[in-house]
Amino acid sequence: MNQARNQQRTDRIVSAPIGNDGADNHDDYPTETLFEQIAYKKLPLINNIVIIGRLRDTWDKQPELGDYYQNYISSLPSILEKTLDTRECLTPGGNTVPPVTGLLLIFPTLFIHSLEVTDPAMKLILEDLNQSINNRENGLIREASILNISYNIHTRTYPNWTFKSIKLAVEDLDAQPAESIEALSLEVLGKLLRLAKYQLDERRTNERPVDILANVDQRADLLPNQANINYLLKQSMFRTAEDILKNYQRPINVRFESDLTAPPTHRLFPITF
């Protein structure tokens, strides 16, 4: 019995690649990021990400930002086909859906972007957002923060991607709200859900295709408060597009020094401080 156990233990030991000097070569150990792992396995994940931001210029950039994202999101299927070969993603129900659906609301100085995206499409959108912020001459966006990310959602709220320019200005944009940051965030996200439900109800009642968001300017109960968005945008607790990209680009298969020798030269447990 002991001989069989010893034989099993010897079978588990696999010699690591040895360099010319007889030491373990750390450069030969492959590293892989989370985005590469998702692209390799082609995982059918759909995420919901809500982005709040500030335009670089007021009023003039409203239609320009909407047209830019309209063209960019329309071109994403062809970009993904060339790069990651994940043009479409399967939902749990088995239906194919476009890589991006959502709604972009553009206010005079601010915007809020609710997106339902696959992981490869989210990576491209965040890279484009970060590039627009860093491009101070031609970029349309001055600053932006990630208000919320929900990973691996089960259903989509929007059937396609649309945008709407809101001409409703606010007298005191820098007003100090009395609610907490958590309460303000929930209020903004709740308004987005109400607006999505309003769009769904309008599509069901109108048999012919109409502009559902044509009169949404008059529905203040459906629009997120611009003063609250402006206040949340100033909070440093929310991550930026650059922060999310750094998290996804870190290697996920880190090799520790204790993995290079068997048995280890020192005790690993219990950990003492």
E-assigned strand segments in 107-217: 110-118, 141-150, 161-165
CB-CB contact of 48 with 149 (8 Å): yes
Each residue of 113-158: pLDDT tens digit?
A: 999 998 889 989 999 999 999 998 888 999 999 999 998 888 888 9
The better pLDDT of the pair 1, 105 is held by 105
Q: Which tokens hold the place of 210?
A: 């109409």
What is the reported pLDDT for 260? 62
Q: Tell me, what DSSP letter sits at residue 21?
A: T
Distance CA(231)–CA(109), nearest Å, equals 13
Mean pLDDT of 252-269: 64
Instruction: Please say whether the dihedral angle defined by the alpha carbons of residues 146, 151, 156 and 160, taken in this order, is positive or negative.
Output: positive
Distance CA(43)–CA(79), nearest Å, equals 18
What is the reported pLDDT for 28? 55
- Residue type for position 200: L
Q: At what angle do helices 119-134 and 34-41 cross, to 10 degrees?
A: 140
Distance CA(60)–CA(212), nearest Å, equals 24
DSSP H/E element including 44: none
The better pLDDT of the pair 208, 90 is held by 208
- Contact partners, residue 49, CB within 8 Å, separation at least 6: 114, 115, 117, 122, 146, 148, 149, 150
Q: Which tokens hold the place of 128?
A: 């484009």
Distance CA(207)–CA(210), nearest Å, equals 9
Q: What are 101's strand-pairing partners?
A: 116
What is the reported pLDDT for 61? 65
CB-CB contact of 9 with 230 (8 Å): no
CB-CB contact of 120 with 34 (8 Å): no
Residue 215: Cβ within 10 Å count: 9
Question: Model confidence at 30, in pLDDT bands (50, 70, 90)?
Answer: low
Among 21-25, 121-125, 220-224, the least confident range = 21-25
- Contact partners, residue 258, CB within 8 Å, separation at least 6: 264, 268
Mean pLDDT of 177-202: 92
How many residues are given for the chain?
273
Q: From residue 6, how far is each of 10, 14, 15, 265, 267 by CA, in Å?
A: 6, 15, 17, 21, 22
The better pLDDT of the pair 219, 13 is held by 219
What is the reported pLDDT for 56? 86
